[in-house]
Chains A and B, each alone.
Chain A
Amino acid sequence: MSKKKFIVGCFDDEAVLFPAVKKVRTAGYKIHDVYTPFAVHGLDAAIGERETSLHTAGFIYGITGTTTALSCISWIFTRDWPLNIGGKPHFALPAWIPIIFELTVLFSAVGMVLTFCYLCQIAPFVKKHHFHPRATDDLFVMVIECTSKTNAEDLKGFLAANGAVEVNEQVAESGWWWGRYDKDEMPFENRTAAAY
């Protein structure tokens, strides 16, 4: 959680954005993030994000559900309270498959969604800095973090030359805070010190 200086370049076409991303990275700038109105395939790889392992988490939650269901039901029906149902076996695995399956799916889905929210740091009442309001509409917003070596004016020119329709400079909080979207807030005001 700290305030940083960012150069923001907005693109109106993903076909222009892709070569620009490549050039910005080749030039050695650090892309903080690219905000897009929809999932642009290949962009994650282009800005150097590794593949997510969310699905692996989903698998682990799933087998947790399977084990939970199987162990609970078998303990209840063979140890804790064996019910005599028409003299049939207490360990009635085929009859338990529906519930085992449902709990597998339930654990996996709930676990994945919670993990997704945790990883993305999203939740009700969470507020973040938005670099451009049209990033959820029709603009592809490339945000580059300024370091002590960055020449902001050069970078702005560079972005404009590579097809950005709008370029600006913003000092912003890079993390999230508990906040309301109907209020303009600048949180962590007194912690602005270091970065630049």
Chain B
Amino acid sequence: MDHRLWTMDYKQDQMHLKYESQLREPLVDGDKTYHQVTEDIVRPIEAKPGRLWYIGFFIAVGLLLFGVYSVYREVTYGIGQWNLNKTVGWGWDITNFVWWVGIGHAGTLISAILLLFRQGWRTGVNRAAEAMTIFAVMCAGQFPIWHMGRVWMAFFVLPYPNTRGPLWVNFNSPLLWDVFAISTYFTVSLLFWYSGLIPDLATVRDRAFTKLRKRLYGIASFGWTGSTKHWQRHESLSLVLAGLSTPLVLSVHTIVSFDFATSVIPGWHTTIFPPYFVAGAIFSGFAMVQSLLVIMRKVFAMEDYITMGHIEAMNKVIVLTGSIVGIAYLTELFMGWYSQNKYEGYTFWYSRAYLFSPYGWSYWGMMTCNVLSPQIFWFRKMRRNLFVTFFMSVIVNIGMWFERFVIIVTSLYRDYLPSSWTVYYHPSIWEIGFYMGTFGLFFTCFFLFAKYMPVIAIAEIKYVLKTSGEGFKNKMGAIEAEQPEEFVHHHAH
């Protein structure tokens, strides 16, 4: 789909030249053949998992169980198990919800928006990023659901004809928009991810060496053959799904920001929220992709496919979106003063920006992690340094967690009624446990994905191999040295 720098015209006796300038960094390092690509990417699936995998997996399952127990406490004894209070009705739960949804934006951004923008480097990272998106959205969905308290009533959020009136949901409410946005986003991301996986699962199936593998991958790959007509439809499907997902991914965090922006709470009631939230979502999503891929490429020896070029490209996105978020913070702060609204002014200049106010530490933590520290990526050396990349990716996600905490808690803890101001909100162990549990869910899913599915899109790598593979690019040197006349003489038909 991407890379139409060259064309193949069947009317010609020979294929047109597959050519991409050597100035562009290769997307696949080393002199690979198609078969080598298959071997490299399928190897982790066919090998026995190493000790690191087991350790990681069991830690993840342990966290998940802790989360399950925390949720059990909350359901059994009620929402009072959490330290939410009179003014802070949204605490860690909604902070974590927005945080996870934000992380879930990078996958679709990489696979959809970068596909439309013809960014070849997406091929190396899209599969893992899409998987991450799906798992992150699964985690995000937990928070509003369990926050309902009486979770057995959760189906009340769905609009269906019922015997209670009929009592419908409020279609004018951003909280309902969220229900539609998140469930649509999850469904479409899942379809996009899985339709891309089918050909690669067929590759795994056709080299399977045990009966069980043949059978399971046979079921999972839907009887895919690789027929030309099927590929044609597959391309069309991917392109249209990308076209649909692009506004979708922007809409989801826009709608999440409406949860706040349509309220009349100081600090929330701002029109800047949609673009600011979307930029923040991309920012944190890419950071999470970096955290995962820096480790994955090492553990699975996939440095040839997730190259320093890929890492650098993502770091560029991080510094860009981090700076957009920074501008949004400063704009808000400015408007807090410029509007001359004393409630806005109090929220921004006392509750948030004043370091010694009760939650001032979280605002400055956010500023440091999200705005100041990513500026390090203006330096190429830093963008291409794995340790710095990993460290910064963790810092950015901490910062983005602070951002949501700042928005939610600093706007709520001092409401319009000063007599309610006394309680300092801090999470209970079961709130923390719930959050840890979603980490468990996320990493359990990711470990299983990494073990049983191709973590890199095999077919898409093969597709860019002859234009962007290092081995093939090296052969372009002779062509690049040619004079235009020679070039025409040699290659025109």
Interface residues of B in 215-246 (CB under 8 A from A): 215, 217-220, 222-237, 239-241, 244-245
- The answer to whether A180 touches B33, judged by C-beta atoms less than 8 angstroms apart, is no
Asked if A41 meets B218 with Cβ closer than 8 Å, knowing A15-B14, A103-B180, the reply is no
Q: How far is the CA of A52 from the CA of B229 in the complex (A)?
A: 8
Chain A residues, CB < 8 A from B187: 106, 109-110
> Does A138 count as interface, using CB distance less than 8 angstroms?
yes
Interface residues of A in 71-126 (CB under 8 A from B): 72-73, 76-77, 80-81, 83, 85, 88, 92, 95-96, 98-99, 101-103, 105-106, 108-110, 112-113, 116-117, 119-126
Contact of A106 among B1, B176, B184, B215 (CB under 8 A): B184
Q: How far is the CA of A42 from the CA of B9 in the complex (A)?
A: 6
Q: How far is the CA of A124 from the CA of B207 in the complex (A)?
A: 18
- The answer to whether A138 touches B168, judged by C-beta atoms less than 8 angstroms apart, is no
Contact of B240 among A34, A101, A112, A135 (CB under 8 A): A112
- The answer to whether B214 touches A182, judged by C-beta atoms less than 8 angstroms apart, is yes
Beta-carbon contacts of A112-156 to B below 8 Å, as 1s and 0s? 110011011111111110100111111001000000000000000
> Does A181 count as interface, using CB distance less than 8 angstroms?
yes
> Does B30 count as interface, using CB distance less than 8 angstroms?
no
Q: How far is the CA of A157 from the CA of B215 in the complex (A)?
A: 36
A32 to chain B, nearest CB (A): 9
Which residue from chain A places its CB closest to the CB of B224 in the assembled complex?
A122
Which residue from chain A places its CB closest to the CB of B459 in the assembled complex?
A38
> Does B424 count as interface, using CB distance less than 8 angstroms?
no
Chain B residues, CB < 8 A from A58: 240, 244
Chain A residues, CB < 8 A from B491: none
Interface residues of B in 169-183 (CB under 8 A from A): 170-172, 174, 176-177, 180-181
> Does B166 count as interface, using CB distance less than 8 angstroms?
yes
Chain B residues, CB < 8 A from A21: 10
Interface residues of A in 11-54 (CB under 8 A from B): 14-15, 18-19, 21-22, 33-47, 49, 51-52, 54
Contact of B227 among A35, A83, A116, A127 (CB under 8 A): A35
- The answer to whether B168 touches A80, judged by C-beta atoms less than 8 angstroms apart, is yes
- The answer to whether A44 touches B205, judged by C-beta atoms less than 8 angstroms apart, is no
> Does A55 count as interface, using CB distance less than 8 angstroms?
yes
Asked if A49 meets B198 with Cβ closer than 8 Å, knowing A19-B14, A41-B8, A109-B187, the reply is no
Q: How far is the CA of A84 from the CA of B217 in the complex (A)?
A: 54
Q: How far is the CA of A125 from the CA of B224 in the complex (A)?
A: 11
- The answer to whether B222 touches A124, judged by C-beta atoms less than 8 angstroms apart, is yes
Contact of B232 among A52, A80, A99 (CB under 8 A): A52
- The answer to whether A44 touches B172, judged by C-beta atoms less than 8 angstroms apart, is no
Q: How far is the CA of A35 from the CA of B224 in the complex (A)?
A: 10
> Does A176 count as interface, using CB distance less than 8 angstroms?
yes
Chain A residues, CB < 8 A from B235: 39
- The answer to whether A181 touches B215, judged by C-beta atoms less than 8 angstroms apart, is yes
- The answer to whether A120 touches B180, judged by C-beta atoms less than 8 angstroms apart, is no
- The answer to whether A44 touches B228, judged by C-beta atoms less than 8 angstroms apart, is yes
The interface on chain B, measured as residues whose beta carbon lies within 8 A of the other chain's beta carbons, has a size of 79
A134 to chain B, nearest CB (A): 7
> Does B195 count as interface, using CB distance less than 8 angstroms?
yes
B115 to chain A, nearest CB (A): 13
> Does B191 count as interface, using CB distance less than 8 angstroms?
yes
- The answer to whether B10 touches A42, judged by C-beta atoms less than 8 angstroms apart, is yes
Q: Which of A73, A81, A102, A122 has the most CB of B within 10 A?
A: A102
Chain A residues, CB < 8 A from B247: 101, 105
- The answer to whether A113 touches B195, judged by C-beta atoms less than 8 angstroms apart, is yes
Chain A residues, CB < 8 A from B220: 124
Which residue from chain A places its CB closest to the CB of B180 in the assembled complex?
A102
Which residue from chain A places its CB closest to the CB of B33 in the assembled complex?
A138
> Does B413 count as interface, using CB distance less than 8 angstroms?
no
- The answer to whether B176 touches A109, judged by C-beta atoms less than 8 angstroms apart, is no
- The answer to whether B10 touches A98, judged by C-beta atoms less than 8 angstroms apart, is no
- The answer to whether B460 touches A49, judged by C-beta atoms less than 8 angstroms apart, is no
> Does B463 count as interface, using CB distance less than 8 angstroms?
yes
- The answer to whether B35 touches A19, judged by C-beta atoms less than 8 angstroms apart, is no
Contact of A137 among B15, B38, B228, B237 (CB under 8 A): B38
Q: How far is the CA of A136 from the CA of B226 in the complex (A)?
A: 7
> Does B251 count as interface, using CB distance less than 8 angstroms?
yes
Which residue from chain A places its CB closest to the CB of B10 in the assembled complex?
A46
> Does B92 count as interface, using CB distance less than 8 angstroms?
no
- The answer to whether A127 touches B35, judged by C-beta atoms less than 8 angstroms apart, is no
- The answer to whether A47 touches B228, judged by C-beta atoms less than 8 angstroms apart, is yes
Contact of A38 among B4, B239, B244, B462 (CB under 8 A): B462
Beta-carbon contacts of B18-35 to A below 8 Å, as 1s and 0s? 000000000000000111
- The answer to whether B231 touches A55, judged by C-beta atoms less than 8 angstroms apart, is no
- The answer to whether A54 touches B237, judged by C-beta atoms less than 8 angstroms apart, is yes
Q: How far is the CA of A180 from the CA of B159 in the complex (A)?
A: 40
- The answer to whether B15 touches A83, judged by C-beta atoms less than 8 angstroms apart, is no
Q: How far is the CA of A117 from the CA of B237 in the complex (A)?
A: 11
Beta-carbon contacts of B407-420 to A below 8 Å, as 1s and 0s? 00000000000000
**A-B pairs with beta carbons under 8 Å apart, 21 shown:** A33-B229, A35-B227, A36-B231, A39-B1, A39-B232, A42-B7, A54-B236, A96-B171, A98-B180, A98-B251, A101-B251, A105-B184, A105-B247, A109-B192, A119-B233, A122-B223, A136-B203, A137-B203, A138-B35, A180-B215, A181-B218
Interface of A toward B, CB cutoff 8 Å: 14-15, 18-19, 21-22, 33-47, 49, 51-52, 54-55, 58, 62, 72-73, 76-77, 80-81, 83, 85, 88, 92, 95-96, 98-99, 101-103, 105-106, 108-110, 112-113, 116-117, 119-128, 130, 133-138, 141, 176, 180-182
List 4 additional A-B contacts (Cβ < 8 Å) besides A101-B247, A112-B241, A136-B205.
A36-B228, A41-B7, A52-B232, A180-B215
